[in-house]
């Protein structure tokens, strides 16, 4: 089906590089996989299962040489909302359906349409997601007790405020120490795996200095099993399909956007064959279909881990496969030790991820322009935070589309023009000429219709429509021209079409306008 150029001239030296980079990325992926799973409202091991299964399958079947797939921060709000509303089992079904949608996108060639999602929308919901992730860690950062995850942002913030009196000093010490390491380590030891050490050192600190004083993965989730879960096909019913298709579609769309964006970033970081977007969505689809069968949550391309993969010297998708195998070995050998990791040590890691994905500069820039894009950005941002990502994306794209239509409608110009000597000689003096420039479509047809009375009020016997610069016309535009022809016929005014582009002629013939106007009245 696809031509695979990712293993051209692959050799033993390349495998050694992939082995090292795969281990490096695996070290980064372990804390992130657990943290993203916990933030999504599920057990930490499910994030590791996703890293193993989806990571391997995307590397094997995807379209990028360097893509590293797994759970990502972008999915957290929508996955958490599904878990809170429907439960973990339905999350698996939503992920499974998302995989099917991704496969359909691949075969239908929809990958190119992803690029038409306005930047104001993507920056809006990305910044909103960052706020949700960051504030969602307040409970773990301060060690608050009695908190219940709520569906809406403001409810969670009110709940945090109500439980501030339950602050755990030891959790704060652990979290602050981890946060300090995130800022200090890159300056004194830039080659160390930052997130792993930012997790391990606070964990060791808590075990040695104040054991049992902070909530850990073990006390909260019962530890992490030393094995992968067995195969289990989700129980899909018609009612669940009706309920879950919409969030599944949002997961698929978001996953497609993030994976293709990650692949583009990877292309820019290293020379060589570029990614195949169609194949990339195919690989993402397979990964999201198979991963839920083993308990995994939805996955997509992870920009930060993909960049780490490239910086570590990866030369092929083998590095992504090595990463998955490394995480699997971690589960089989070291899973019991993960029980000692404090939730307070994971909070700074997720806050750090949120800060990096917040797109602060782009957000401020678009907002400062004070245009229609600013309204789209702010609306998408606020809806992401206070309602949910599904509504935010739908409304954001709708507003952007309306803004685009408004701009395009203003690009239609109908200008009265003087006749040339040739036109006067051919058609006589009793003629009015109009030049129509720009798109004549459903968004601008009203402009054309409003101009029709002026066009027919000149009292002339003939009207020339110069369509040389007609950039596009659709069925609504054709209907507007048909209405002009009807009015002209009633007033015995002859319509003459001049310089109609050949590619527009087909619509005129199919719609019957060509025959109504008459072949003799077309001057190409």
Q: Is the pLDDT of residue 136 over 50?
A: yes
Tokens found for residue 296: 């995994």
Tell me the three-class secondary structure of 410-463, residue by residue: CCCEEEEECCCHHHHHHHCCCEEEEEEEEEECCCCHHHHHHHHHHHHCCCCCEE
Q: Are residues 120 and 30 in the same domain?
A: yes
Q: Do 146 and 256 share a domain, yes or no?
A: yes
Q: Is residue 1 part of a domain?
A: no
What pLDDT is recorded for position 292? Answer: 95
Judged by average pLDDT, the poorest of 456-460, 488-492, 509-513 is 456-460
Residue 438 shares a structural domain with residue 343: no
Q: How confident is the model at residue 329 (pLDDT cuts 50, 70, 90)?
A: very high
Answer yes or no: is 457 within a domain: yes
Q: Report the C-alpha gap between 393 and 250 in whole angstroms.
A: 8
Q: Exposure string (b/e) for 225-246, b if CB count within 10 Å is 16 or more? A: eeebeeeeebeeeeebeebbbe
The CA–CA distances, whole Å, from 483 to 416, 439, 493 equal 19, 17, 13
As to burial, measured by CB atoms within 10 angstroms (0-12 exposed, 13-18 middle, 19+ buried), residue 165 is exposed
CATH number, residue 436: 3.30.750.24
Same domain, 443 and 399: no
Question: 107 pLDDT exceeds 60?
Answer: yes
Calculate mean pLDDT across residues 21-36. Answer: 90
Q: How many domains would you assign to the chain?
A: 3
Can you read off the two tokens belonging to residue 349?
């890691």
* 345 vs 506 pLDDT, higher one: 345
Residue 11 is assigned to a structural domain of this protein: no
Helix, strand, coil content of the chain in percent (nearest 5)? 70, 5, 25
In a domain, 326, yes or no: yes
Same domain as 266, residue 232 = yes
Residue 508 has pLDDT above 90, yes or no: no
Q: Is 342 helix (H, G, I), strand (E, B) or coil?
A: strand
* Same structural domain, 263 and 129: yes
What is the DSSP code string of 95-147?
HHHHHHHHHHHHHTTGGGGGGGS-HHHHHHHHHHHHHHHHHTTHHHHHT--S-
- As a whole number, the mean pLDDT across the chain is 88
Position 400 scores a pLDDT of 86
What does the pLDDT look like over 138-162, one tens digit per residue? 999 999 998 887 878 898 899 999 9
> What domain range includes position 476?
413-523
> What are residue 89's phi and psi, to 5 degrees?
-60, -40
Cα 136 from Cα 124, distance rounded (Å): 18
């Amino acid at each position: 089906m696809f031509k695979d150029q990712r293993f051209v001239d692959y050799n033993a030296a390349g495998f050694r590089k992939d082995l090292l980079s795969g281990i490096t990325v695996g070290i980064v992926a372990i804390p992130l996989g657990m943290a993203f799973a916990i933030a999504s409202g599920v057990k930490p091991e499910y994030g590791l299962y996703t890293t193993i299964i989806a990571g391997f399958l995307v590397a094997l079947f995807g379209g990028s040489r360097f893509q590293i797939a797994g759970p990502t921060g972008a999915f957290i709000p929508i996955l958490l909302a599904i878990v809170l509303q429907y439960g973990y089992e339905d999350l698996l079904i939503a992920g499974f359906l998302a995989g099917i949608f991704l496969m359909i996108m691949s075969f239908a060639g929809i990958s190119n349409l992803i690029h038409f999602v306005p930047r104001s929308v993507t920056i809006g919901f990305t910044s909103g997601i960052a706020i949700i992730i960051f504030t969602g860690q307040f409970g773990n950062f301060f060690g608050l007790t009695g908190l219940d995850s709520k569906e809406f942002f403001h409810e969670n913030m009110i709940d945090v405020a109500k439980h501030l009196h339950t602050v755990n000093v030891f959790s704060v010490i652990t979290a602050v120490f981890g946060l300090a390491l995130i800022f200090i380590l890159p300056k004194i030891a830039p080659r160390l795996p930052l997130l792993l050490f930012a997790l391990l050192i606070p964990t060791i600190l808590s075990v040695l200095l104040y054991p049992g004083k902070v909530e850990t993965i073990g006390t909260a989730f019962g530890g992490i099993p030393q094995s992968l879960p067995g195969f289990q096909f989700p129980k899909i019913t018609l009612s669940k399909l009706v309920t879950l298709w919409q969030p599944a579609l949002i997961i698929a769309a978001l996953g497609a956007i993030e994976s293709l964006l990650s692949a583009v970033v990877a292309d820019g970081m290293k020379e060589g064959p570029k990614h195949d977007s169609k194949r990339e969505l195919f690989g993402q689809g397979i990964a999201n279909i198979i991963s839920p069968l083993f308990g995994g949550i939805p996955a997509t391309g992870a920009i930060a881990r993909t960049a780490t993969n490239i910086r570590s010297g990866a030369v092929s998708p083998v590095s992504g496969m090595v990463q998955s195998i490394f995480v699997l070995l971690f589960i089989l050998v070291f899973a019991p030790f993960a029980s000692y990791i404090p939730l307070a040590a994971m909070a700074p890691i997720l806050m750090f991820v949120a800060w990096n994905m917040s797109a602060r500069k782009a957000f401020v820039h678009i907002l400062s322009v004070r245009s229609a894009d600013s309204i789209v950005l702010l609306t998408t941002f606020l809806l992401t935070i206070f309602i949910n990502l599904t509504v935010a994306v739908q409304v954001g794209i709708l507003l952007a589309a309306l803004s685009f239509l408004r701009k395009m409608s203003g690009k239609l110009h109908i200008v009265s023009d003087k006749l040339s000597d040739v036109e006067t000689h051919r058609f006589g003096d009793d003629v009015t000429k109009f030049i129509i420039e720009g798109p004549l479509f459903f968004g601008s047809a009203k402009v054309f219709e409003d101009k029709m009375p002026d066009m027919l009020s000149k009292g002339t016997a003939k009207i020339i429509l110069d369509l040389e610069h007609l950039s596009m016309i659709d069925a609504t535009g054709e209907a507007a021209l048909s209405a002009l022809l009807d009015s002209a016929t009633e007033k015995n005014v002859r319509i003459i079409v001049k310089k109609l582009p050949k590619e527009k002629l087909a619509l005129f013939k199919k719609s019957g306008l060509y025959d109504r106007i008459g072949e003799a009245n077309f001057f190409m």
